[in-house]
């Protein structure tokens, strides 16, 4: 897995703070200059938490937690040479993830403001060093050995704002060797900003599993000019787009507590999400990342799609009962 390692700065906030910066709940954006002061505001709050984050790193940690065998998951991304990077590596390594950071000296480690309001959240990422990943790191002998040894490859769409060429190299390698490449749409802006959408379009022919949520599905359909169609119809249309290689394409769209839509060569299926009592929900931050981690853990084990979805739902259910993307010491998925 390769993505943008970020130290999450998480705190409960009121609507006034969200309005002050123009943040929307259940959304993720990249920080602009006007957003920079929010990090200091959060850090000054008494309830602030610092959590190893970044969408892909969250998925890597959850996947490793479920797979149990140490260092089954390799994670790479760019960090600075600072205490925040030390915190990130300490956390991910403690979770038995094989961490392969690319370290730069002149840029601080990236951070993500996690503004929790009720049981929903808004994310604002200041990529900083995460924006400095270079494809030369992927081409290093050590990383090439890691890539050759893997059988599943995953990028969140956020990484396409940083090093689309690295994602393309991973995708091509998977396609040429009959392995599995997975991509997540990650946020509506990935489809709305032309260079990022172009990167998605370039990767789609070699993408075996495409993940997203209902808002990302709607945005994809809108940008494609498909009009007001359902999430299931968007999934079906993407599944039928041109595909290279021997593997079929699956499109997996979550919809929060509503059923998860999966479009594959056998058609479109919907899988109900097990209900989580409202009183047990702490916050929804990391739920989508956890779903992917659970799904990929079962995919790596060779389980059928319905088991992958079931584990994704289970992992998401664990995470929303806790603060941030955290989990118990052991995974009891059965």
Active site residue 201: no
Which residues, in sequence order, are CB contacts of 43 under 8 Å at separation 6+? 9
Nearest to 46 by CA among 86, 16, 74, 10: 10
Dist CA 17 CA 202 (whole Å): 38
Q: In this structure, is residue 332 part of a structural domain?
A: no
Question: What percentage of the chain exceeds 70 in pLDDT?
Answer: 100
Confidence of residue 13 (pLDDT cuts 50, 70, 90): very high
The whole-number pLDDT of residue 2 equals: 95
Number of folded domains that form the chain: 1
Evaluate whether residue 33 is within a structural domain.
no
Contact partners, residue 295, CB within 8 Å, separation at least 6: 211, 252, 308, 309, 311, 312
Q: What is the pLDDT of residues 244-300, one digit of tens each?
A: 999 999 999 999 889 999 999 999 999 999 999 999 988 787 899 999 999 999 999
116 CB neighbour count, 10 Å cutoff: 21
Q: How does DSSP classify residue 205?
A: G
- Whether 25 is covered by a domain: the verdict is no
Domain annotation covers residue 122 = no
Flag whether 3 is in a domain.
no
Confidence of residue 87 (pLDDT cuts 50, 70, 90): confident
Looking at the chain, the whole-number percentage of residues with pLDDT higher than 90 is: 73
* CATH number, residue 100: 3.40.1190.20
Residue 250 belongs to some domain of the structure: yes
pLDDT in tens, 176-220: 999 999 999 999 999 999 999 999 999 999 999 999 999 999 999
pLDDT in tens, 122-159: 989 898 999 999 999 999 999 999 999 999 999 999 99
The set of residues, in sequence order, having a beta carbon less than 8 Å from that of 315 and lying 6+ positions away, is 62, 66, 290, 291, 293, 294, 297, 327, 333
Residue 119 has pLDDT above 80, yes or no: no
Quick one: pLDDT at residue 86?
Answer: 87
For residue 53, the model assigns a pLDDT of 82
Q: Which domain holds residue 210?
A: 53-108+128-319
Task: List the single range of 155-159, 238-242, 292-296, 324-328 with lowest mean pLDDT.
Answer: 324-328
Question: Per the domain annotation, does 10 fall within a domain?
Answer: no
Does any domain span residue 17?
no
* Catalytic residue chosen out of the listed positions 8, 208, 283, 289: 289
Q: What integer best gives the mean pLDDT of the chain?
A: 93
């Amino acid at each position: 897995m390769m993505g943008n390692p970020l130290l999450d700065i998480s705190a409960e906030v009121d609507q006034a703070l969200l309005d002050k910066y123009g943040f929307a709940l259940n959304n993720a954006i990249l920080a602009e200059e006007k957003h920079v002061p929010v990090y200091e505001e959060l850090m000054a709050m008494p309830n602030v938490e610092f959590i190893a984050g970044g969408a892909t790193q969250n998925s890597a940690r959850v996947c490793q937690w479920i797979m149990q065998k140490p260092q089954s998951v390799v994670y790479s991304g760019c960090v600075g040479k600072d205490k925040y990077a030390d915190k990130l590596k300490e956390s991910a390594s403690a979770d038995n993830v094989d961490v392969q950071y690319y370290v730069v000296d002149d840029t601080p480690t990236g951070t993500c403001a996690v503004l929790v309001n009720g049981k929903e959240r808004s994310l604002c990422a200041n990529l900083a060093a995460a924006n400095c990943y270079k494809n030369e790191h992927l081409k290093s002998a050590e990383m090439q050995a890691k890539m050759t040894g893997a059988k599943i490859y995953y990028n969140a769409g956020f990484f396409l704002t940083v090093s689309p060429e690295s994602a393309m190299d991973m995708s091509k390698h998977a396609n040429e060797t009959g392995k599995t490449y997975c991509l997540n749409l990650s946020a509506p802006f990935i489809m709305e900003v032309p260079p990022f959408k172009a990167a998605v379009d370039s990767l789609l022919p070699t993408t075996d599993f495409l993940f997203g949520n209902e808002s990302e599905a709607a945005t994809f359909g809108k940008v494609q000019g498909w009009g007001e169609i359902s999430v299931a119809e968007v999934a079906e249309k993407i599944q039928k787009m041109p595909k290279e290689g021997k593997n079929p394409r699956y499109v997996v769209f979550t919809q929060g507590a509503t059923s998860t839509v999966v479009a594959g060569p056998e058609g479109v299926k919907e899988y109900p999400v097990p209900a989580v009592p409202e009183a047990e929900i702490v916050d929804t931050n990391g739920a989508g990342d956890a779903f992917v981690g659970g799904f990929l853990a079962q995919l790596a084990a060779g389980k059928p799609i319905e088991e992958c979805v079931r584990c994704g739902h289970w992992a998401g259910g664990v995470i929303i009962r806790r603060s941030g993307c955290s989990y118990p010491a052991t995974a009891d998925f059965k």
